[in-house]
Structure 1
């Protein structure tokens, strides 16, 4: 997730959780904690499947490309939420 989106998410949480109006140093400390919590999260994805090319049918290759696309989409969605992947 881009830094602006992460900050906007924090700001929305800050207001919704009734912290709005707290001293600024509290907000800065909470923001630092928010960032640290995001940095600490890492999702380990299983490796992308590799095709067995020898004797592979066209349907097998289509399935491989579909799985490969899903793997990429999952990684992109997780990283878009500001979470690192392995």
Structure 2
């Protein structure tokens, strides 16, 4: 997942979750948030996304399924779109 999308998801979560957060709290100087606690929270958010990996079955194992490879590709694409890596 690209940094812009990752940051947008994080900021959306902050607005929904953190009590009394204001738009000023989310202002940044480049990559650094004005509210210092958000920098640590974003680093943890980013690390949690990078650590999450789903192991897909080999494509060959799906050859006996009716839609095998197309289904595998669609699953992989959907998982990647959510910002999760696959093996």
TM bin (shorter chain) = 0.7 to 0.9
TM-score (norm 2): 0.74
Give, in angstroms, the shift of residue 2 of structure 1.
2.6
SS of the aligned residue for 1:30 comes to helix
- Which protein, 1 or 2, shows the higher relative CO under an 8 Å CA cutoff with sep ≥ 6? 1
Q: How many residues align?
A: 75
Structure ranking higher in strand proportion: 2
Query: Which runs of 5 or more structure 2 residues have no equivalent in the other structure?
Result: 26-33
CA RMSD, aligned part only? 2.2
1:32 aligns with 2:33: no
Check conservation: 1:2, 1:80, Cα contact below 8 A.
Answer: no
For residues 31 and 41 of structure 1, the distance between their equivalents in structure 2, rounded to whole angstroms, comes to: 16
Listed one character per residue, the Cα deviations across residues 11-64 of structure 1 (whole Å, up to 9, x for unaligned) are 00001112525671100000000000001011000011365xxxxxxxx8xx3x
Which has the larger Rg? 1
For residues 14 and 56 of structure 2, the distance between their equivalents in structure 1, rounded to whole angstroms, comes to: 31
Displaced runs of 4 or more, over 2 A: none
